[in-house]
Chains A and B, each alone.
Chain A
Amino acid sequence: DAKTTQPNSMESNEEEPVHLPCNHSTISGTDYIHWYRQLPSQGPEYVIHGLTSNVNNRMASLAIAEDRKSSTLILHRATLRDAAVYYCIDTGFQKLVFGTGTRLLVSP
């Protein structure tokens, strides 16, 4: 079963920043925090991952709390193409299990 909790949905306007939260209440010391997203009618795609430090890549930024019990995926300027379901997962060597995710709606 998924171990993380996320809001069911969030809304944003185009070109505004979006902060997607995730709680990792049962994360262990060796688990990485992963974020994936699933665009309509497509399979999930990798967004970003991290262990303890904040991470940036061309798609997004990942902010990880000091106690690692929460993380935030940051989209700096949302576009219509970012409308998707966003999943956070914490896992290390175990299987990859997806929860219900957060459905992000982006308005023009």
Chain B
Amino acid sequence: EADIYQTPRYLVIGTGKKITLECSQTMGHDKMYWYQQDPGMELHLIHYSYGVNSTEKGDLSSESTVSRIRTEHFPLTLESARPSHTSQYLCASSDILNTEAFFGQGTRLTVV
């Protein structure tokens, strides 16, 4: 059973608001990832981390930021939400060799 959790599952928010999407895992995984996916489209890597105090931008440019202060926690923040940020955001974690990555249930964000 995967122990990775994302909150909230759904979020509808107004333009200009600051939001933080939470992601936590209890498996002690070093690697954590954030992906962005629109319905029926590709899964795009936007941020990843190899461990505490390590964060890197992914292949798709994103206005969001992330932090990794604790192994189990990898929150994603949007300082000022815009309608173009409307999408599904998926968090994942894996061991150092990516042997088996586990995904959270996702957060479906709608910015109005």
Taking beta carbons and an 8 Å cutoff, which residues of A are in contact with B? 1, 32, 34, 36, 38, 42-46, 49, 87, 89, 91-100
Contacts and interface: CB of A to CB of B under 8 A. Distances in A.
B33 A96 contact: yes
B106 to A, nearest CB: 5
A34 B43 CA distance: 16
B98 interface: yes
A46 B102 CA distance: 7
Contacts of A89: 98
The main secondary structure of chain A at its interface with chain B is loop
B45 interface: yes
A24 to B, nearest CB: 15
A32 B58 CA distance: 20
A34 B98 contact: yes
B37 to A, nearest CB: 9
B79 interface: no
B48 interface: yes
Contacts of A42: 105
